[in-house]
Structure 1
């Protein structure tokens, strides 16, 4: 494992993490109607911290291999998209636009996972929890929007 690569990719995760800290759910989100299966608020930072580590491990493994520049470019795209969601959903309170962003993120994560898997099975597997969590987040975003269209 190239630890410098790992920490470089982990550093790239600072942007979406910072956006999540800058644009917190707050009273506006608390007062919205949410589906019964909404995860508790404390779970989000725990899961994201775990995911940032696993996606950075996956990227460091793939980046160490020859011929993986496109796969790493996909990783860069998905982390850039991930940086947008909190500001749009919580900051601008644009639930539908947030849904479009997170749907785009889901596609970018899926493409990245397939690209990583084609080079290194472990790296592909390391992105599976990320795709699952983004799937939950996508469903939650659209459910909250649907339950609160008048507030949107």
Structure 2
């Protein structure tokens, strides 16, 4: 399979994860529950989340296509699937079920998985590692937002 086809496959998978997560959160950010929470002063406006996730998933899809083409190992797929599942279920846990503590645990685990991708494959990916950094940075911010809600509500 060509690199372009891998990019398309990972774009479909990653944007599919965003779509499933969005569906599972059931208008979470617009609910009375979320609106009434004491949120971190650094919480970005709503439109930033859509822009950030779109950019992140484009970069991550390119990163994964290169990684998979170079390595093509079961460990890469397992790590990707764990990342996929954690990304999707955080929305349900946090926004739908209002389990802020479990949500925090989930997002920290997701951050660790993305950090493992970043560190484990930096030798193989070189400068392409820059493509995963927006994901890792955003997850650190999102984790801090979740932590603030956990500690202040």
TM-score, normalized by length of structure 1?
Answer: 0.89
Distance 1:68 1:122 in 2: 21
Structure 2 residue matching 1:74: 3-state secondary structure: helix
Out of 74, 83, 102, which is 1:78 matched to?
83
Task: Single out whichever of 132-141 and 118-127 deviates more from structure 2.
Answer: 118-127
Q: Distance in 2 between matches of 1:9 and 1:87?
A: 22
Which residue matches 2:144?
139
Q: Is the 8 A contact 1:62 1:123 kept in 2?
A: no
Residue correspondences, number: 148
User: Aligned to 1:83, what secondary structure does the other structure show?
Assistant: helix
- 1:18 lines up with 2:20 in the alignment: yes
Shift of 1:127: 0.6
Q: Which runs of 5+ in 2 are unaligned?
A: none
Displacement of 1:71 after TM fit?
3.2
**Matching residue within 124, 128, 136 for 1:123:** 128
Greater per-residue helix proportion = 2
In structure 1, runs of 5+ residues without a counterpart are: none
Q: Could you state the TM-score of these two structures normalised by the residue count of structure 2?
A: 0.89
Aligned to 1:44: 49
Match of 2:63 in 1: 58
Equivalent position to 2:38, from 30, 33, 41: 33
Distance in 2 between the 1:122 and 1:59 partners? 14
1:87 aligned onto 2:65: no
CA offsets 1:57-79 (integer angstroms, 9 cap, x no match): 00001111146542343223212
1:105 CA drift (Å): 0.4
Residue pair 2:37, 2:149 contacting (<8 A) in 1 also:
yes
